[in-house]
Amino acid sequence: MSRLGKKVGFIGCVSQDQMGDYCVEYFNNEGIDTSHVVRAKGGESLGLAFTEILDKDTSRLIMYRDNVADLKLEPGDVDEEYIKSAKMLIISGTALSQSPSREAALKAMAYARKNGTAWCSTSTTGPIHGKIKTKSHSTIRQRPPWRISSWAPGRNTTSPTR
């Protein structure tokens, strides 16, 4: 969205290492506000994914998500004024998968509702979905896991969802 001239910000937790530095630098270079990015305090790392693209319709995905930084976002890291200033808040389904990021995401949703900020979630399955689907403005349909990596940078720059 920032490439389309929209103001974009990121609320999240990244690792306290060169990979975390890279993510923050990349976001900054893309015009994404990183003022609400926090660093993991317990040695957590960023998740890692390997994708093998076999052909235009087939790929394999291996993900390492043990002790990852993004799930360490805490409710105290969520700033009501920042959410109030936004027009839209998108909550990742991954953020809802585990504590303490689940509670941080639910707090962000509550702030959005309280302050009239539109919000949606990418969570489409699991027990948490039933709790939030009636409260969100919309739910973004996720691709099946086996299709998640069918888009790759440079293959189709107009739509990563095709």
Q: What share of the chain is helix, strand, coil (3-state, %, to 5)?
A: 35, 25, 40
What type of residue sits at position 72? Answer: K
How would residue 78 be classed by pLDDT, with cut points 50, 70 and 90? very high
pLDDT in tens, 52-70: 999 989 988 888 888 999 9
Q: What is the pLDDT of residue 104?
A: 96
Cα separation, 45 vs 134, in Å, equals: 33
User: Where would I find the H helices in 44-121?
Assistant: 80-84, 101-115
Cα separation, 98 vs 79, in Å, equals: 20
pTM comes to: 0.73
**CATH top-level class for 1-72?**
alpha beta
- Diameter over CA atoms, the chain: 46
Kindly list the domain boundaries of the chain, sorted by start residue: 1-72, 74-140
Say if residues 10 and 33 touch (Cβ distance below 8 Å). yes
